[in-house]
Structure formats: structure tokens, C-alpha cells
Homo-oligomer: A and B are copies of this chain.
Amino acid sequence: MKINPHKKLDYSCFYQMKTRWRDNDVYGHINNVVYYEYFDTAVNLWLIENDILNFKSGEIIGFIVKSGCDYISPISHPSNISIGICASAIGTSSVTYKSAVFKDGREFASAQGFFTHVYVNRKTQKSCPISLEFRQKLNDIFKS
């Protein structure tokens, strides 16, 4: 069950975040659930910054259909963390993003995970194909 931690080179872009007091669990470590909050935040920031997602009024929204995470070494609040993301699989209407948490200036990930978004029409909630423009931006952050 030994996991090889990813490196920063394995990811395409990074978002700086800070832990919060409530992130720590009863053992004084960041709770396992909270890592998914970091991943979700980073990928959605990328989508918003690239004018792909407008969660208030946009026609297309992303639903998560699968997620997972390997926890390699514990982090405690307070920490400055860098969240790396990349696109690792680009389908017709779905994208899998890989994401990892790097503590401070560390080269190796403390935790690494992924989630798969299916893009759907907000009204019909049916999946819709990824636009050419979106696909090009995904290609820019693609890492296999």
C-alpha cells in the first residue's frame, strides 16, 4: 500500500491557500474530508478564472461523479499550502482533474487525489459536450 508522492512537476498550475482552525481534527491534523475542499476550490478557481464556469448564471455546470485521495503525510493548521492541479483525462463531456496538496515550499505532495467532473446543462441536468474553447484550455493543463 506504499504510495509514491507526486512532485510539483506532475502538476500544471497552483493555487496558494491557508488552512483554517476548524480544519484540524481531534488528533490535531487536517481532517481527511477537508482535502477535498481544497481540491474542489482549486479546480473551480481555474474554471472561473478561465471563463468556463459561471456558477451563478452559466448554462453549464460541473457535477462530481467520482473522487479519491491518498494521504501521505499529515498536515496541521496553521499551514500555508499550495494546491497543484492538472487535467489527466479529457472525455466528451467529462474531465478528470488530478490535484495535490504541497505544504509550504515542499517538493513532494502531502496528499494527492483526483475528481471527475461531468459537465451538464443547468436546466436539463443532461451531460453536454465540452466546447472547443474549453478543450483547448484543458489541453494546456493536461498531464498524463
- The number of chain A residues with a CB under 8 A from chain B is 45
With both chains docked as a complex, state the minimum distance between the C-beta of A135 and any C-beta of chain B, in angstroms: 18
A82 contacts chain B at the CB level, 8 A cutoff: no
Interface bits A71-83 vs B (CB < 8 Å: 1, else 0): 1001011100000
A residues in contact (CB < 8 Å) with B = 1, 3, 16-18, 20-22, 24-29, 31-34, 36-38, 40-41, 44-45, 48, 55-56, 61, 63-71, 74, 76-78, 94, 115-116
Q: Contact at B68–A69, with CB atoms within 8 Å? A: yes
By beta carbon, the residue of chain B nearest A56 is B28
By beta carbon, the residue of chain B nearest A69 is B67
Q: Contact at B21–A18, with CB atoms within 8 Å? A: no
By beta carbon, the residue of chain B nearest A33 is B36
